[in-house]
Amino acid sequence: MAKKRAAKIKIKYVRSVLGRPGTQRKVIEGLGFRKLNQVVECPDSPETWGMVRKVSHLVQVLEGEES
């Protein structure tokens, strides 16, 4: 049997959190972002997709888009 690879999604941080509520700032930090235009890989899980939905106006999903 082939080894199953853990699914990952790539997310890019495209808009600043300046002037946004503290909860959105914490979600951006929780996704692992530190700088604008940074790309991070996160596990493809319902928890990650929920975080992405909360800040969908600040980030862009590059790979692993949900169907």
Residue 48 has a pLDDT of 96
Residue 15 makes CB contacts below 8 A (sequence gap 6+) with 36, 57, 58, 59
pLDDT tens per residue, range 4-61: 566 999 999 999 999 999 999 999 999 999 999 999 999 999 999 999 999 999 999 9
Could you tell me the residue ranges of all domains in the chain?
17-63
Q: Residue for token digits 């999903």?
A: 61
Which CATH superfamily, name and number, covers 17-63? Ribosomal protein L30/L7 (3.30.1390.20)
- What 54-57 contacts at long range (C-beta under 8 Å, 24+ apart), as own/partner pairs, is 54/23, 54/24, 54/27, 55/24, 55/27, 55/28, 55/31, 57/15
